[in-house]
Amino acid sequence: MRYYSFLFLIIVIIMCFGCSAPKTPPEIRYAEKQKAVLVNAGVREYTPDEYRIYLTTYSNAEGAFLTEDAKFRYFKDFSSVRDQYRRLLGKGNMLLSKINKLKAEKSEGIEKRIFTIKDRVDSLKTSTSTINEGRLIRKNLSKAEFLLTEAELLLKKGDFDAVEANLKKANDLTKESSKIANSILSRYADRNQIENWRRLAETTIKESKNKGIVVFIVSKIDQSLMVYKNGKKIKTYDVGLGRNGLKDKLYAGDGGTPEGRYYIVKKNAGSRYYKALLFDYPNAEDRLRFAQAKKKGLIPARTGIGSLLEIHGGGSDGMTKGCISLDNNDMDKIYALACEGTPVTIVGAINGVNETLSYID
């Protein structure tokens, strides 16, 4: 009996000190870290269905470990648990690879959108750079440029939500700018309108040839004043227009520069704008159009038609209230050529749509 008791004691000692219980598989710790990496990478957003399957596999592996770990230490066997966690890690690596691929594709798509909006911004800036009405447009486009630059930085950080917000704002500003540009410049893409302007100019040139006189033709889109003598163009000068000069003038204070056939009615060598040539705006056609617009309620009741529009000095790079301005040196030459009765024809464009208008959507 003593012998068996001693033998049992020896077996217990061997079991306690001669053998060790199996260690927890390190794959469990790796899986925990991998799960956190997947969540931070946006697994819920990019691969929600695969992630649900991953979580089921994770839960099964975790359950298997808990079952095995509950056994008496010397009867634990984690080999099957280790295999399950290794398969889990493999699924996780595949998910992470897919997420990175999807992110790369999304980044590429966003980069293309940024490029597209940038191209539209640049085109609008080009097409509206010389028009007075482009002030609000250029302000919007400057904001859009800032948002796009910020979007590029956010994209590098992977903050897609912030990038999308910036792109929406930039795109809205660009669309608004395009809408404003269209409201101003759409007439200049109208073939019938251009043909009417061309006929006005041709009639005036023909008058110059038939009468052997000097005439002035102003092309608003080109911001130029052309001098014809005996039907031949002899000189072209840069001019400034009203703050809304590309629009046809309708009433006092609208900032538009009128369109039509006019005549010089007075020369003023002592104008506050150096020298000036007063032309007969409003003429009969202007008054008729004004009356019709007022009858339709398009003009405030107490608003007048305006008057005292001139070709004057003071600089070609500024804005006027509707007049046509030149640099003083050029005004000297124009003033010398003009006399009372000199025809002045003002049109939107002569030679078709200006190339810059092709940028407007």
Supply the DSSP symbol for 216: E
Whole-number pLDDT of residue 2:
55
| Bridge partners, 346 (sequence order) | 218, 260
Whole-number pLDDT of residue 325:
94
The answer to whether the beta carbons of residues 233 and 316 sit under 8 Å apart is no
Give the mean pLDDT of 223-230. 96
Q: Of 86-90, 177-181, 355-359, which has the strongest mean pLDDT?
A: 86-90
Give the mean pLDDT of 126-145. 83
Helix (H, G, I), strand (E, B) or coil at 21: coil
pLDDT at 264 over 90: yes
User: Among residues 312, 342, 338, which one has the least CA distance to residue 327?
Assistant: 312
pLDDT at 350 over 90: no
In tens, the pLDDT along 63-116 reads 999 999 999 887 899 999 999 999 999 999 999 999 999 999 999 999 999 999
- CA R_g for the chain: 40
Whole-number pLDDT of residue 10:
53
Tell me the backbone φ, ψ of residue 317, rounded to 5 degrees: -105, 10
pLDDT band of residue 344 (cuts 50, 70, 90) is very high
In tens, the pLDDT along 268-321 reads 999 999 999 999 999 999 999 999 998 888 888 788 988 899 999 998 877 788
pLDDT at 360 over 60: no
The answer to whether the beta carbons of residues 325 and 245 sit under 8 Å apart is no
The answer to whether the beta carbons of residues 68 and 78 sit under 8 Å apart is yes
pLDDT at 9 over 80: no
Whole-number pLDDT of residue 52:
95
pLDDT band of residue 18 (cuts 50, 70, 90) is very low
Residue 90, classified by CB atoms within 10 Å of its CB into exposed (0-12), middle (13-18) or buried (19+), is exposed
Q: What count of other Cβ atoms lies within 10 Å of the Cβ of residue 278? A: 20
Whole-number pLDDT of residue 359:
47
pLDDT at 347 over 80: yes
Q: What count of other Cβ atoms lies within 10 Å of the Cβ of residue 11? A: 11
| DSSP characters over 65-112 | HHHHHTS-GGG---HHHHHHHHHHHHHHHHHHHHHHHHHHHHHHHHHH
Q: Kindly compute the dihedral angle of the four CA atoms of residues 172, 177, 180, 185, in this order, to the nearest 10 degrees.
A: -140
